[in-house]
Amino acid sequence: MNDMDHTPSIPPVAARDAEPAVEERQDGGGRLPATTEVRNLRAPLDAPPLPRMAARILSRTLTHDRAGLLHPDYAAMVRELKTRYKISIRKWRTHMSGVAYELTYPDGRIKRLISAPRPRSPVSAAIFLHEVGHHAIGFRRYSPRCLEEYYVWQWAFREMTARGIPHDPRVVRHYRRSMYHYIKLARKHGHHVPHELHALAHWPG
């Protein structure tokens, strides 16, 4: 893959909610979440949407502006993904960063949360989709963390393509900077960086 075949990710925060028994975070704290099979929620990683499905998604998430031009319906996308993955929005952020995590309560309930910018542009939509992707794929499914971030970004880009959201230069730059950060962190802690990520190990500017 060349450098531009790839495209950023965001760090986590602590949750403030009703005294969970376990907090599932991206940074590795807490107990492992329930399996995909038990919860029947997470999407298979490398299963691209079928053509008919992609067409239905695209038709639902495109609206016309006053000039009659098509553009993504970000509000419909948020509603759809919240329902599909049973996610709650912890906070709409005013800056371009996000976090995804889970809370497990003593009675076994699992609450899935994200904080992200409200999707209003390709880059804010990419960050939102990236955080949703952590829930779609599952936490700590891949190691080291930089590899997990990479696969979550690929999930987000497939969703963007299916929904007609462009991978513009700001999206690519955000993705590259995010991957640089996680690769640098992996090397700092002595983790092996997979070969497919080497092209993303340089600061993109």
Q: What is the pLDDT of residue 72?
A: 87
Q: Which pLDDT belongs to residue 10? A: 36
- The span from the CA of 64 to the CA of 141, in Å, is 39
Model pLDDT, residue 129: 98
Residue 82, sorted as left (phi over 0), alpha (psi -120 to 50) or beta, turns out to be alpha
Would you kindly state where each structural domain of the chain is located, as residue ranges? Answer: 3-29+49-200
Query: How many whole angstroms separate alpha carbon 87 and alpha carbon 181?
Result: 26
User: What is the pLDDT tens value at each position of the chain, 205 positions in all?
Assistant: 444 444 444 333 333 333 333 334 444 444 433 333 333 345 444 444 445 555 555 555 555 555 444 678 999 999 999 999 999 999 999 999 999 999 999 999 999 999 999 999 999 999 999 999 999 999 989 999 999 999 999 999 999 999 999 999 999 999 999 999 999 999 999 999 999 999 999 999 8
pLDDT at 202: 94
Q: How far apart are CA 72 and CA 68, in angstroms?
A: 13
Q: What pLDDT is recorded for position 197?
A: 96
Rounded to the nearest 10°, the torsion over CA 35, 36, 41, 45 is: 140
Q: Between 169-188 and 122-137, two packed helices, what is the crossing angle to 10 degrees?
A: 50
